[in-house]
Amino acid sequence: MKRPMVILVALPLLCVSIMTIGDGPAAAAQLPDIGLPIYPGAMQDPDNPSMKTPFMQNLHLLSGDPFSKILAWYKEKLGKFTDASSKKGQQALWNDKTPEGRVRTVTISTIGAPEGKVKITLMTGMLRN
């Protein structure tokens, strides 16, 4: 009789923990919209919080998917990326400037990422004159 009670109590706590660490659709809904596509299943990097100022905003994400899969997804969404890979790891960059003067960049990198993860950094900002 006590055993089912323990399971019932543990399940709600588990669900809260899963949502807290940023898994699933609820986590994606919690990420700020900065006007760039967010890779499906990517989670906020706990060691690099997002930053927003009056002139720029960035979002640091992590994914366990392979670098090549993430890059292919972003190429489909945004177009050509520049390969900036080195001996340290794989890295690709994309940037553009909107007619309103907003600069947008996406960096996909294994360099400095936790083991088995790929870093995705999204940034938008206005150039100051």
Work out the percent of the chain whose per-residue pLDDT is above 90: 58
Higher pLDDT, 100 or 63: 63
Per-residue pLDDT at 67: 97
Work out the percent of the chain whose per-residue pLDDT is above 70: 75
On whether the CB atoms of residues 18 and 10 are closer than 8 A, the answer is no
pLDDT in tens, 78-125: 999 999 989 999 999 999 998 888 999 999 999 999 999 999 999 999
Mean pLDDT for all residues in the chain: 79
- Whether the pLDDT of residue 1 is over 70: the answer is no
The pTM (predicted TM-score) of the whole model is 0.75
How many whole angstroms separate alpha carbon 98 and alpha carbon 100?
A: 5
- Whether the pLDDT of residue 76 is over 90: the answer is yes
Q: What are phi and psi of 16, to 5 degrees?
A: -65, -40
Which amino acid belongs to residue 99? Answer: P
CA end-to-end distance (rounded Å), the chain: 70
Spatial neighbors of 79 by CB under 8 A, at least 6 apart, are: 94
Q: Is 122 exposed, middle or buried (0-12, 13-18, 19+ CB in 10 A)?
A: buried
How many whole angstroms separate alpha carbon 98 and alpha carbon 102?
A: 5
